[in-house]
Amino acid sequence: MAHDKEPFPAHLNSRWLHYFSQALDAGSIRTASDRLDVEPSVISRQIRQLEQALGVTLVERHGRGVRATEAGGILLDFYRERDVAEQTLLGQLAELDGLQRGHISLAISEGYSDRLMSGVMNDFCARHPQLTVEMNLANVNDVVRQVYEGQAHIGIAYAPRLTPGIESVVSVHQPLCAIVHPGHPLTRLPQPLALDATLEWPLGLVGHGYGIRQLIDAAAIISKRHFHASLVSNSLATLKQYVSSGDGVTFIGRVALLHELRRGQLVALEIDHPVFQEAEAHVIVRRQRPLSPAAKQLLREIVDLWPFGERERVDW
Amino acid sequence: MAHDKEPFPAHLNSRWLHYFSQALDAGSIRTASDRLDVEPSVISRQIRQLEQALGVTLVERHGRGVRATEAGGILLDFYRERDVAEQTLLGQLAELDGLQRGHISLAISEGYSDRLMSGVMNDFCARHPQLTVEMNLANVNDVVRQVYEGQAHIGIAYAPRLTPGIESVVSVHQPLCAIVHPGHPLTRLPQPLALDATLEWPLGLVGHGYGIRQLIDAAAIISKRHFHASLVSNSLATLKQYVSSGDGVTFIGRVALLHELRRGQLVALEIDHPVFQEAEAHVIVRRQRPLSPAAKQLLREIVDLWPFGERERVDW
DNA sequence: GGTTAGTGTTGCTTAAAAAGCAACATCCGA
DNA sequence: TCGGATGTTGCTTTTTAAGCAACACTAACC
């Protein structure tokens, strides 16, 4: 290139503008240098650099102090506006730090939303009205995927596939239970139920690839049994309807159908099998993802006020 | 101070923001470093400095590239807006450099405005419609003062007091003439007129302190004559009226009353005296004042198309 | 499951920019 | 005319940014 310097550079050095504005505010370079506690030569040089970078004369070096030229006035106005915009930005960031602003996205497994809502979210949202909280209901796999891909900050899932990249913040034992309608013959057997007893009834199961299904498959392998699914669905609602309208059996954690249990529409029977007992619900986040202050706070409250049973393990 | 760093600094370093935005645009620090042809460590460090200065995490260091956190997104939006504002500013400055915008203030002695208007200003204003040209008519002293105080960029004055701090860009001989009405007895005397001849008639003069008056006083001293002013006024219009309605005489440069001369309302008689012949009109500016490009261009055109007589001296 | 190319990061050195210092030229008012 | 004050210029020292190489780690790939 023939010229190293473009007539107008891509960016204005903030230091240049600072000294420039200070000098013009003070009226002279020397008084500005006194205020800023720097040498006058520094300010003089920086202003000159700014002028050279812009290719325009900005100040009149007027024996008694400095005054802005027309271009200097324009630049000064620009800098003023830019400064208030910057202050506004800093305010926004401060608000974000003080939970005044922000957006939190939750991905929640089926069955956890209402407990979460009544236990934590109502209070949290009331205390932070400026915050936008998005609750995205999804099946277990989607919860994990959304958290992994960053679409959701926090995920709540029952028996999620804990891949690397997904970090479990808190988990709780929530045994996988056999779900049947209240009048089902299984309810009359001694509790906890033997696994084999359930296999005599038609099964409704979630599809392969789901955490629950993996547990069930694992139990089948360990117990050397074969589980034949009469119905496969990725919707818990479908499975609930399935068992409530017939003598079928499905396996779901208790918290996923607290409503139905409380109303007596369904009953949950614990199963005497280690794999089923080991089932856990997890609050998950993306590994090493820096959460926004708001998300961090909500996560903290979810863990503290954990509404899904006794806390089992907390990585905090 | 306990803490050297405030939670939110007064100013955002432009370099930080630049690297920050580039890295996020590129999706990874390394690709950004390739584009900008700098080391990745530089970008990494600058972003970290920005984060520390703000006290907020801005990017997710995500094994495969970087992504913006919520705060980072806000900052990024801010920077985008700031960048377009900056480009707009640079455009304004460029326009100003191309005479597209700007404000020029002229201070003009009585009598010069119409010649200037028809000779230069009409054309200039037509060619630069975005330009604002302010023509401030004033008496000679005020012209000098306005130029000196920076209220006017360019001054045009007849026989101004050339103090230090005022620089004459171009000057032209414009003999100070005796002004009388067409039927005045002086018009029948041989030309150029002897100075003594004029003294026999009542005189109308400008006040002391005016350049014209200084010339007249100087002539009086050299010629060992005493000039008694029957009328003293700081307004040329008054003096014109004075001589046109009686047999009085005044001393004014020819160009200041071209209208009246052309219409035959007044006549200008040259005077055979070196001081009167030496009278000059000047185009003046503030010494060492950096004129805006627009003002500079107008000044150049005024000098080039000089409409007030033959150019005598040009300091260009 | 190990491998591998790619990412961001960290010590260290080198280059560049800013700041400090003293002296200077200039302007302005008394 | 003088004296205080202003902006400026060489020069040095200090601070900051940039370059370089090696590292730790992730994520995809065979």
Cβ of B159 near strand C (distance < 7 A):
no
Rg (CA), chain A: 32
Q: What is the rounded average pLDDT of the residues B44-57?
A: 92
Q: Residue A312: its pLDDT value, please?
A: 58
Cβ(A50)–Cβ(B53) below 8 Å: no
B172 class by beta-carbon count within 10 Å (0-12 exposed, 13-18 middle, 19+ buried): buried
CA-to-C1' distance for B48 and D10, Å? 37
Cβ(A160)–Cβ(A143) below 8 Å: yes
pLDDT(B113) > 80: no
**CATH architecture of residue range(s) B98-172+287-304:** 3-Layer(aba) Sandwich (3.40)
Element (H, E) at A311: none
Q: Residue B315: its pLDDT value, please?
A: 61
Cβ of A143 near strand D (distance < 7 A):
no
Q: Which of A306, A231, A220 is nearest to A271 (CA)?
A: A220
DSSP letters, B99-126, are TSS-EEEEEEETTTHHHHIIIIIHHHHH
Least confident range from B69-83, B87-101, B188-202, B262-276: namely: B87-101
| Chain position carrying tokens 């008496």 | B139
DSSP letters, A246-259, are SS-EEEEEGGGGHH
Q: Residue A78: its pLDDT value, please?
A: 93
pLDDT(B184) > 60: yes
Sequence ranges of chain B with CATH classification 3.40.190.290: 176-277
Q: Which of A194, A308, A181, A187 is nearest to A250 (CA)?
A: A181
pLDDT(B102) > 70: yes
- Report how far residue B47's alpha carbon sits from residue B172's, in angstroms, rounded to the nearest whole number: 63
Q: Tell me the pLDDT of chain B averaged across its residues.
A: 85
Proportion of chain B above pLDDT 70, given as a percent: 94
Q: Residue B3: its pLDDT value, please?
A: 37
CA distance A66 to chain B (A): 11
Sequence ranges of chain A with CATH classification 3.40.190.10: 98-172+287-304
Those residues whose C-beta lies under 8 Å from the C-beta of residue B269, and which sit 6 or more positions away, are B177, B178, B179, B180, B186, B187, B191, B192, B193
Q: Residue B20: its pLDDT value, please?
A: 96
Assigned CATH class of A176-277: alpha beta
Q: Residue A5: its pLDDT value, please?
A: 37
Query: Which window residues (18-77, chain B) lie with Cβ within 7 Å of strand D?
Result: 37-42, 45-46, 49, 62-64
* Predicted TM-score (pTM) of this structure: 0.73
Q: Tokens standing for B293? A: 């490009």
Proportion of chain B above pLDDT 90, given as a percent: 28
Contacts of B290 in chain A (CB under 8 A): 57, 60, 69
Those residues whose C-beta lies under 8 Å from the C-beta of residue B281, and which sit 6 or more positions away, are B109, B112, B156, B157, B158, B159, B171, B172, B174, B253, B255, B308, B309
pLDDT(B231) > 80: yes
Q: Tokens standing for A63? A: 């024996």
Q: Indicate yes or no: CB of A86 within 8 angstroms of CB of B11.
A: yes
β-partners of residue B170 are: B283, B314
B253 class by beta-carbon count within 10 Å (0-12 exposed, 13-18 middle, 19+ buried): buried
pLDDT digits (tens, 9 = 90+) for B116-160: 877 788 888 888 888 888 888 888 888 888 888 778 889 988 888
CA distance B85 to chain A (A): 8
pLDDT digits (tens, 9 = 90+) for A20-54: 999 998 999 999 999 999 999 999 999 999 999 88
Cβ(B155)–Cβ(B106) below 8 Å: yes
pLDDT digits (tens, 9 = 90+) for B1-24: 333 334 334 588 999 999 999 999
Q: Tokens standing for B48? A: 């970290």
CA-to-C1' distance for B74 and D12, Å? 43
Cβ(B204)–Cβ(B240) below 8 Å: no
Query: Which window residues (57-76, chain A) lie with Cβ within 7 Å of strand D?
Result: 61, 63-66
- Report how far residue A239's alpha carbon sits from residue B48's, in angstroms, rounded to the nearest whole number: 51
Phi, psi of B123 (to 5 degrees): -65, -45
The length of chain B is 316
Q: Residue B6: its pLDDT value, please?
A: 40
Tens of pLDDT along chain A (316 residues)?
A: 333 333 334 588 999 999 999 999 899 999 999 999 999 999 999 999 999 988 888 998 877 889 998 899 999 999 988 988 998 898 888 888 888 778 888 888 877 877 787 778 888 888 988 888 888 888 888 888 888 877 888 999 888 888 877 888 888 888 889 999 999 999 999 888 998 899 889 999 988 777 788 888 888 888 888 888 888 887 888 888 899 888 999 998 888 888 888 899 999 999 999 888 888 888 998 887 888 888 888 998 888 877 666 665 566 5
Cβ of A164 near strand D (distance < 7 A):
yes
Neighbours of B199 (CB within 10 A): 16
Q: Residue B39: its pLDDT value, please?
A: 93
Phi, psi of A263 (to 5 degrees): -80, -5
Element (H, E) at B176: strand B176-180
β-partners of residue B141 are: none
CA distance B111 to chain A (A): 29
- Domain covering A14-76 in this structure, CATH number: 1.10.10.10
pLDDT(B316) > 60: no
Phi, psi of B27 (to 5 degrees): 95, -20
Q: Residue B170: its pLDDT value, please?
A: 86
